[in-house]
Amino acid sequence: MQPRLWLLLAAQLAVVRGSSVLQQTPAYIQVQTNKMAMLSCEAKISLGNTRIYWLRQRQAPSSDSHHEFLALWDSTKGTVHGEEVAQEKIAVFRDASRFILNLTSVKPEDSGIYFCMIIGSPELTFGKGTQLSVVDFLPTTAQPTKKSTPKKRVCRLPRPATQKGPLCSPITLGLLVAGVLVLLVSLGVAIHLYCRRRRARLRFIKHLRLHPLEKRSRLDY
């Protein structure tokens, strides 16, 4: 069947009801102007060499709406474009059971509902459609405003400065060792003199105890 013939048939459809045979994802997509959009149509049955058609409906489905033929995928020819379609913007390729419509450099006028379709005998089977919305600026999610709480001032005492590096130089350490040695020697000498004096005193007291008469006789004279 020629594209013009089935396009006239599709234009007579009032409202398209999607079939579970062709599953389209995503159901809705929003793309920024001049970006790329990829729409997927997965066949749940074996299609063999059956052609997959992609149509666009610019307005909401109604009795006056019609489908615009964009392109089809053919097992031998690949992508076959419609007559008034910019071929550099639209491509269809197959990935196993999925048929993907690739739109490049999209414009706001590309917005609409995109349907994939197969032609049977005699019915036309449509997917449920993917709604494409092309906008200049993507909406951003507004973050909830947080109330700023004043920070409490905490008084902190200054930390003592820590001394880095060696505590004593070799000269200072040597002087400290020499001072300790001098103190030890002085202490030893003092102990020695104390002991000598103590021994001498004890000898003198012993001598007085052994010769008390001699001392008295000397005192009489």
pTM of the model: 0.56
What pLDDT does residue 38 have? Answer: 95
* Calculated CA dihedral for residues 32, 38, 3, 121, nearest 10 degrees: -140
Q: What is the mean pLDDT of residues 134-158?
A: 70
What DSSP element (H or E) covers 72? strand 68-74
Q: Residue 31: its pLDDT value, please?
A: 95
Query: Would residue 10 count as lying in a domain?
Result: no
Query: Tell me: the pLDDT tens digits for 12-54?
Result: 443 345 667 899 999 999 999 999 999 999 988 887 778 899 9
Domain that holds residue 190: 172-212
Q: 126 and 200 share a domain?
A: no
Assess if residue 2 is contained within a domain.
no
For residues 39 and 119, membership in a common domain is answered with yes
What is the domain-level CATH number for residue 82? 2.60.40.10
Residue 141, in any domain of the structure: no
CA distance 52 to 104: 20
Strand segments (E) across 86-209: 90-95, 98-103, 112-119, 124-126, 130-135
Confirm whether 12 is domain-assigned.
no
Tell me whether residue 163 is in a domain: no
Q: pLDDT of 172-204, one tens digit each?
A: 888 888 888 888 988 888 898 888 888 888 888
Distance separating the N- and C-terminal Cα atoms of the chain:
171
Instruction: Examine the domain organization and report whether 88 and 191 are in the same domain.
Output: no
Helix (H, G, I), strand (E, B) or coil at 201: helix
Number of separate domains in the chain? 2
Calpha distance 67→62 (Å, rounded)? 11
Find, among 35, 46, 156, the residue nearest to 96 by Cα: 46
Residue 63 lies in a domain: yes
Average pLDDT, the chain: 79
Residue pLDDT, tens place only, 161-172: 555 555 557 888
Same structural domain, 39 and 126: yes
Task: Please indicate, yes or no, if residue 1 is contained in any of the structural domains.
Answer: no
Residue 166 lies in a domain: no
